[in-house]
Amino acid sequence: MKKILIIEDNDLNYLLVEEILSDYNVEIIRARDGKEFYSKIKRPVDYDLILMDMMLPDTNGIALTKFLIRENYDIPIIFMSASTDKYKEISDLGIKNFIAKPFYQEVFIGNIRNYIELERLKECA
């Protein structure tokens, strides 16, 4: 089972991601802000992917990404944001995947599949 850490303060956005991923064999762990992020990002790393929101109540996704880079965490990151004006700054950090909100399910799943293999849950009879 793949583990995805999602840093998202907006409940509706989180619930949308949770719903989209409910058909797949993934475990989703949520951090609502920087404080929760730092409490969940431990070594050894056990996340396969991070979904990073740009704007959080106490920090921003760029600051959290800089921390991950500085501390040599090797976890793929996909930014999710309605603030497309930050794309260059994100790209300068080496993050090439950015999902603009609002997003479509097919685009969202396609972006995740660029980083991890998604396994569908078995259909119940």
Q: What is the CATH number of the domain that holds 75?
A: 3.40.50.2300
Confirm whether 15 is domain-assigned.
yes
User: In the chain, how many domains are there?
Assistant: 1
Q: pLDDT-based confidence at 123, cuts 50/70/90?
A: low
pLDDT tens string 46-82: 999 999 999 999 999 999 999 999 999 999 999 998 8
Percent of the chain predicted with pLDDT > 70: 97
**pLDDT, the chain, mean:** 92
Nearest to 1 by CA among 116, 123, 108: 116
Dihedral of CA atoms 56, 114, 93, 28 in degrees, nearest 10, equals 30
Confirm whether 125 is domain-assigned.
no
Confirm whether 118 is domain-assigned.
no
- Nearest-angstrom CA–CA distance, 117 and 16: 20
Domain range for 37: 2-113
Global pTM reads 0.92
Give yes or no for a contact between 99 and 80, defined as CB atoms under 8 angstroms apart. yes
pLDDT given for residue 75 in this prediction:
95
- Nearest-angstrom CA–CA distance, 44 and 22: 26
**Helix ranges, the chain (H):** 11-21, 34-40, 61-70, 87-92, 105-113
- Nearest-angstrom CA–CA distance, 7 and 49: 11
